[in-house]
Structure 1
Amino acid sequence: MIYEIALLPVHKERIETFRSAFDEVAPLLRRAKGYGGHLLAKGIESPEMFNLIVRWQSLEDHTPGFEASEDHRLFMMGLEEYFSDEPKVFHIEGGNF
């Protein structure tokens, strides 16, 4: 099991609308090969920093898999106007939680 952890910096004035924009593009993520679920959470100390955790069957399912797909391009197009900086993405290994 692989977890993608994405730190998503959102413009302060767009915080309230970001979650609904994410909900609109989330089906593109859900249908990806190897997708096992996700959690999108707004930071408490830094509410403009969202954390996205996605469970993947393998690293390859995420990268190059989803990241190289047209669905990923559309996913990012639907969110890019909300980002105040480039998202940072990390991967970790682990079991279910």
Structure 2
Amino acid sequence: MVYEIALLPVHKEQIEQFRRAFEDVVPLLKRAEGYGGHMLAQGIETPELFNLIVRWRSLEDHTPGFEASEDHRVFMMGLEEYFSEEPKVYHIEGAAFSS
């Protein structure tokens, strides 16, 4: 299992608009091959920084899979106007959370 972690810096004055825009484009993410769930979390100390964590079956499902798709292009077009700078994305490998 692979987790994509995307750090999404949003203009402070556009946080609520970003949340609505994300809900509009999330169906594109959910239908991607290998998608296994996601979480969008707003920073507590830095509320203008969102963390998007997406579980993928494999790295290839995300890169090149979803990232090379038309759905990804539309997904990003729906969000890019809200970013205060370029998002940072990285991947980690691991199992589900344990309790």
Does the pair score TM above 0.5? yes
Q: Secondary structure at the match of 1:5?
A: strand
What are the equivalent positions in structure 2 for 1:1-97 lying under 5 Å apart? 1-97=1-97
Q: TM-score, normalised by structure 1?
A: 0.99
* Structure 2 unaligned spans of 5+: none
Paired letter, 1:5: I
- Structure 1 distance, partners of 2:10, 2:2, is 25
Structure-1 separation of matches of 2:19 and 2:57: 25
2:18, 2:82 → 1: CA distance? 7
* Aligned alpha-carbon RMSD (Å): 0.5
CA offsets 1:18-59 (integer angstroms, 9 cap, x no match)? 111100000000000000000000000000000000000000
Structure 1 unaligned spans of 5+: none
- Scaled by the length of structure 2, what TM-score is found? 0.97
Task: Could you list the structure 1 runs, at least 4 aligned residues long, displaced by more than 4 angstroms after superposition.
Answer: none
Q: Count the aligned residue pairs.
A: 97
**Whole-Å Cα distance in 2 between the matches of residues 19 and 96 of structure 1?**
26
Structure 2 Cα separation of the partners of residues 17 and 45 of structure 1:
20
